[in-house]
């Protein structure tokens, strides 16, 4: 059996190295600032934020939505943010009738209005249901933001803005996605409510 001490330090070291790359990369910082500003300005104007992902990325989508619709740090009114998959009856009905690849596109078609924003989270950037959601966003004049890993992907090419975490390891990418999500929530609260 592997020594737990080296297992422990290896995982934390990889996470720190990825976060160090994020910290030192001005291009990524500028992209995160654009994303945070786009969402803050959109929400100030009444836009809704829709989020989607699969597996751990679905959990991250829900987590970010909860921080905004509930609260992150500040006592303030709730913001219109929801993960598209939270209604399991709708999700499973759409998957059953149209196929899993269409679940997010169909839900976005039903819920989104012109000027809304979509965050599509995919560590590979190539999940078909995520790609179709971004296509649907474009057709509805909804701004799309992709959270991906380092590799070029369909999502990174299609989305209006992309945040590419500098890693190709799914768990490390997901750890950074939620950190970036928290940073964006903090910026939105600070921009809209801390004056």
- Topology of domain 4-193 in CATH is Rossmann fold (3.40.50)
pLDDT, residue 75, reads: 93
Indicate whether 159 pLDDT > 80: yes
Residues 67-103 have pLDDT tens digits of: 999 999 999 999 999 999 999 999 999 999 999 999 9
Residues 14-34 have pLDDT tens digits of: 999 999 999 999 999 999 999
Residue 195 confidence class, pLDDT cut points 50, 70, 90:
low
- Which residues 6+ apart lie within 8 Å of 45 measured at CB? 115
Q: What is the mean pLDDT of residues 46-51?
A: 98
Residue 3 confidence class, pLDDT cut points 50, 70, 90:
confident
Asked if 79 and 69 count as a contact pair (C-beta separation under 8 A), the reply is: yes
- Which residues 6+ apart lie within 8 Å of 144 measured at CB? 117, 118, 120, 133, 134, 137, 138, 158, 159, 160, 161
Indicate whether 1 pLDDT > 80: no
Q: Is the pTM of this model over 0.85?
A: yes
């Amino acid at each position: 059996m592997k020594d737990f001490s080296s297992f422990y330090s290896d995982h934390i070291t990889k996470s720190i190295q990825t976060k160090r790359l994020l910290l030192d990369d001005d291009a990524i910082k500028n992209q995160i600032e654009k994303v945070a500003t786009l969402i803050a300005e959109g929400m100030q104007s009444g836009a809704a934020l829709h989020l989607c992902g699969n597996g751990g990325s679905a959990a991250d989508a829900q987590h970010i939505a909860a921080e905004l619709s509930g609260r992150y740090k500040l006592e303030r009114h709730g913001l219109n943010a929801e993960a598209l998959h939270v209604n399991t009856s709708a999700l499973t009905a759409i998957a059953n009738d149209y196929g899993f690849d269409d679940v997010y596109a169909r839900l976005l078609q039903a819920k989104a209005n012109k000027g809304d924003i979509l965050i599509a989270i995919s560590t590979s950037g190539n999940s078909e249901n995520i790609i179709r959601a971004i296509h649907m966003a474009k057709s509805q004049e909804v701004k799309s933001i992709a959270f991906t890993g380092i590799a070029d992907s369909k999502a990174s090419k299609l989305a209006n803005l992309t945040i590419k975490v500098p890693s190709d390891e799914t768990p490390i990418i997901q750890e950074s996605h939620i950190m970036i999500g928290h940073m964006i929530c903090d910026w939105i609260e600070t921009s809209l409510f801390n004056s």
